[in-house]
Structure 1
Amino acid sequence: MDYKWRVRRTALAALVLIGGMGTGCAQTPPDNSAAANAAAAAPVAQTNAAPAMKDEQAATPALPLAASQPGVLTPDEAKQNAAGNVAELQQMLRGQELAELRTTYNGSYGASLLFYGKEMTYYVTLFQNKTFWRVIKTSDETRAEAIYHDFAVKSGQLAEVEIRRTRLEAQKAFTDRMIALTQDHANRLQADLAIAREQQALVADQQKQGRDQANALQAQKTAAQAQLRTVQRQVRELQQQVEGGLPIR
């Protein structure tokens, strides 16, 4: 009996000792390595969360803020333009599938609003010398009209220098032509004046010669008349001598 009691007492003491160690372990603060592991895990979680937020933002479509501004392309229009709207439009024009709704010309620049009825699509173009510069494709009628108006205004602005140059070239050509005509008139007047002066000198010389000849003839006439009178007197004297002593009737 004593032996069994001592065994039980020893086992009970061991259980009490084990229970006290467990209580002490439960009250011991956490190890620093565990805290470090937890701290390291936090950025990883945040890093993993960041791509998720970015993916969510990327999945959310951007609002077309530029849609209200005619001169700015929406993302869809920019994508279409990059895909080759110019080539597409040229091919459609060759097929005569487009209707020309509006066209504005300013010098060599211009804007056109074209309509593809089969797909209810509008093509708005800005061109120079019949060569497309920009082509915007849209199915929004209001936006197409706004872009066309913007392109028409822009074509006028681009053509201002060209129109001014054309006018200045025409004015210069007109001035040059007037200078040439005036110079030609002056040359003709100069030629006429030279002829008149030459003719005047010729006439003056002829007049002088005529006066000199007239004076010489006058002198010759006077001398001839004097000679005639002398000869006539001699004739009368000779006649008297011949008829001297003859009866007079």
Structure 2
Amino acid sequence: MKTLLNRRRTLTTDGIAHLVRVDRDRSAPLAAIADGPSREAAPAPPEPPVERAVRPVTTLHPMPAMPSQQNGRVAHFADPADIEWMVEEGALTPFRVFRAFDYSVSLLFHAKELKYYVALYQDGSPWRALKANDLDSAQGIFHQFELQAMRLADGQTRRAQLEAQNEQLTKMIAQSEAQVEQLRKALQRSATHEQAVTSRQHQTRREVAQLEAQRVAAQAQLNKVHRQIHQLDLAAHDGVPHLTNR
């Protein structure tokens, strides 16, 4: 503990107050500072020992050492124009390629620099590009670009599906309409034939009735002629004697 200074007034002939240094064992608490020269400070009682809380010691575990990357990054920006130029020069070897309609992703290897480039293409032109020092990091970037290309191509994917479905529905509608027309014509032909058959049946019945009437009339005429022949035959035989057979 710091040494406490006890202010004590000491009267002198010139009336000036002095500061008197008090040792640690003779220091008194601040509340017991003397107000006058006739009152001396009582010795301070010894302070009780302070018990400090014991904190548990944390066990240290070994941490795996991770290889540090430059600037803490596994990938860095690459100029798409440079990638396009290196592709034209044949300096890059494609490792993996993914394509979704107008978007494609290429994982390219630059053998001279031992670098890997991942580029996202739009309509055959590099749009975004990153480079990495190892293949694992480049494959992770390729997967992210692949997902991005799939999301970008979602509209075109849906459009292609809808176009195919609409084309199929159009064909089905045309086939159904052709079938309806075919059935309509078949029914029309059937109705025409049925009407013709019905008309023919009426005509046949009328002809049969006429023929039946003609037959009855002819039969009556024939019967009449037979009677006339019989009468004439009787009349012709009236003057001829009747001969009996012996």
The TM tier, using the shorter chain, reads: 0.5 to 0.7
User: Offset of 1:156 from its aligned partner?
Assistant: 0.8
* TM-score, reference length from structure 2: 0.62
1:90 maps onto 2:90 in alignment:
no
What amino acid maps onto 1:81 in structure 2? D
Q: Secondary structure at the match of 2:128?
A: strand
Q: Equivalent residues in 2 for 1:194-205 (5 A)?
A: 194-205=188-199
Aligned length: 174
Contact 2:84 2:126 (8 Å CA) reproduced: no
What amino acid maps onto 1:204 in structure 2? T
1:113 pairs, out of 103, 107, 115, with 107
2:79 pairs, out of 77, 81, 96, with 81
Aligned partner of 1:64 in structure 2 is: 71
Equivalent-residue separation in structure 1 for 2:99 and 2:235 (angstroms): 121
**Identical columns (%):** 31
Q: 1:238 to 1:86 in 2, by over 3 A?
A: farther
User: Offset of 1:177 from its aligned partner?
Assistant: 1.1
* TM-score, reference length from structure 1: 0.62
Equivalent-residue separation in structure 2 for 1:108 and 1:221 (angstroms): 92
Q: Secondary structure at the match of 1:64?
A: helix
Equivalent-residue separation in structure 1 for 2:160 and 2:224 (angstroms): 94
Equivalent-residue separation in structure 1 for 2:96 and 2:236 (angstroms): 129
Q: Secondary structure at the match of 2:79?
A: helix
User: Offset of 1:235 from its aligned partner?
Assistant: 1.4
Q: Secondary structure at the match of 2:153?
A: helix
1:170 maps onto 2:181 in alignment:
no
Q: Equivalent residues in 2 for 1:165-244 (5 A)?
A: 165-244=159-238
Return the structure number with greater helix share: 1
User: Offset of 1:129 from its aligned partner?
Assistant: 4.5
User: Offset of 1:132 from its aligned partner?
Assistant: 3.3
What amino acid maps onto 2:147 in structure 1? V
| Structure 1: segments with no counterpart, 5+ residues | 1-62
What amino acid maps onto 2:158 in structure 1? R
Q: 1:122 to 1:219 in 2, by over 3 A?
A: same
1:149 maps onto 2:147 in alignment:
no
Equivalent-residue separation in structure 2 for 1:134 and 1:90 (angstroms): 15
